[in-house]
Amino acid sequence: MTNFFSSDFTLGILGGGQLGKMLLYETRKFDIQTIVLDPSAEAPCRIACNEFTRGDLMDYDTVLNFGRKADVITFEIEGVNVDALEKLEAEGKKVYPSSQTLKRIQDKGVQKDFFSSHEIPTAAYKKCPSKKAFLEGLQKGEISLPLVWKSTTGGYDGKGVAIIKNMDAAEDLPETECIAEDLIPFKNELAVIVARNPSGEVKTYPVVEMEFHPEANQVEYVICPARIDASVAEKARKVAEKVSEAYQHVGLLAVEMFQTEEDEILVNEVAPRPHNSGHYSIEAAFTNQFEQHLRAILDLPLGETESKAGGVMVNLVGEEGYTGNVVYENISEILKLKGVTPHIYGKKITRPFRKMGHVTIVNADLSEARKIAEEVKKTIRVIS
């Protein structure tokens, strides 16, 4: 077994955002050496890794040369050069999740086709190679309104996704390859995080419930456990395990789902990395998602996934109307509240709806945690 701890072993992380920063909490805990690549000189990871490199994650040579300095490579963002990852694997480097897993997820059209070919329940969809093809599909009646429009690549944090109810809205969409999905009437948006290591050990976290901001299409609250029947929760975990089995990923896989009015589970999309829906686990779970990702990619035994108490996570995003040097107004007030832990991501500049941090509320009574979360949301403001 490789000696990962207090040794020359080096973990390479592609992407230096908040997910990488929170992963570095765990590498520092275990004294694992890390190198990070990110295009921004102000990346949150820069203060916590052993070596920071500024560079383009989509540039083949940059990713290849960076990866050659590491023993194991992982990523905290899907927008990385897959060809470079394939070359690194061919040279004997361990890349987790693998280039093949990323290739099947990076493009949402490919992702949807993967669900269909593996009989994973998902909303009906049509792929369109261009805006013109999308509009023609609408005019011919091959695509029906209302629908969910998604850019196949480049979408994140609510970008690249829109609910389209009329032709005027369709005309305003950007020029890009896209998918048109049926708009599903649902009771809840749920998520399950699945961990898998190279030895094949698999564990799932409890089902979480996600409440979204109506305008920004971003998660405002993540509630664990989800306030759903046990039978529905069991069904969601089984679907997530099926998705994990299909991908044979190594690391974490976040599976976002819809609970329909008939209590069926449909997979919305997946992310092969630590995920916003798992942030609650830092305070509320026996093994947080970042430690679990580390355990998985290093082929260590997976940790216990159950929660210690009820957890609610509140996303901190930039207020509308503010762009500039960030100020966390009233943060001292929320620190007075029971069970509250803020996480500030280290981004110096705020702008409307930019993810700047999150706050976790832990309480034995989930309904009380949700009330405190509402108070947190009303109290703290991310302004400039």
- Residue 133's closest CA among 144, 148, 143? 143
Per-residue DSSP letter, 88: H
Report the half-sphere exposure of 125 (CA within 13 A, side-chain side): 27
Domain CATH code at residue 58:
3.40.50.20
Does residue 198 share a domain with residue 163?
A: no
How far is 254 from 289, CA to CA, in rounded Å? 10
In a domain, 38, yes or no: yes
In a domain, 117, yes or no: no
Report yes or no: 35 and 49 within 8 Å, Cβ to Cβ. yes
Domain-ending residue, one of 146, 166, 182? 182
Does residue 173 share a domain with residue 85?
A: no
In a domain, 321, yes or no: yes
Domain CATH code at residue 198:
3.30.470.20
In a domain, 46, yes or no: yes
pLDDT value at position 158?
A: 62
Annotated binding residue at 29? no
How far is 332 from 157, CA to CA, in rounded Å? 27
In a domain, 2, yes or no: no
Annotated binding residue at 268? yes
Does residue 203 share a domain with residue 131?
A: no
Domain CATH code at residue 132:
3.30.1490.20
Torsion of CA 186, 115, 253, 78, to 10 degrees: -100
Per-residue DSSP letter, 71: S
Q: Which two tokens stand for residue 188?
A: 């809840």
Annotated binding residue at 181? yes
pTM of the model: 0.95
Annotated binding residue at 269? yes
Domain assignment of residue 279, given as a range: 186-383
Does residue 82 share a domain with residue 203?
A: no
pLDDT value at position 219?
A: 84
Number of domains in the chain: 3
Annotated binding residue at 23? no
Report yes or no: 197 and 299 within 8 Å, Cβ to Cβ. yes
Does residue 305 share a domain with residue 230?
A: yes
Annotated binding residue at 215? no
The total number of residues shown for the chain amounts to: 384
pLDDT value at position 338?
A: 96
pLDDT value at position 154?
A: 77
Q: How many CB atoms lie within 10 A of CB 214?
A: 7
Does residue 363 share a domain with residue 268?
A: yes
Report yes or no: 233 and 246 within 8 Å, Cβ to Cβ. no
Does residue 351 share a domain with residue 203?
A: yes
In a domain, 104, yes or no: no
In a domain, 368, yes or no: yes
Residues of the chain with pLDDT under 50: none
Report the half-sphere exposure of 41 (CA within 13 A, side-chain side): 0
How far is 49 from 27, CA to CA, in rounded Å? 9
Does residue 362 share a domain with residue 233?
A: yes
In a domain, 232, yes or no: yes
pLDDT value at position 212?
A: 84
pLDDT value at position 1?
A: 65
Does residue 192 share a domain with residue 170?
A: no
How far is 237 from 121, CA to CA, in rounded Å? 13
How far is 213 from 148, CA to CA, in rounded Å? 16
Does residue 255 share a domain with residue 379?
A: yes
Does residue 156 share a domain with residue 57?
A: no
How far is 274 from 277, CA to CA, in rounded Å? 8
pLDDT value at position 202?
A: 98
Per-residue DSSP letter, 130: S
Does residue 345 share a domain with residue 203?
A: yes
pLDDT value at position 293?
A: 98
Annotated binding residue at 76? no
Domain-ending residue, one of 182, 203, 228? 182
pLDDT value at position 208?
A: 98
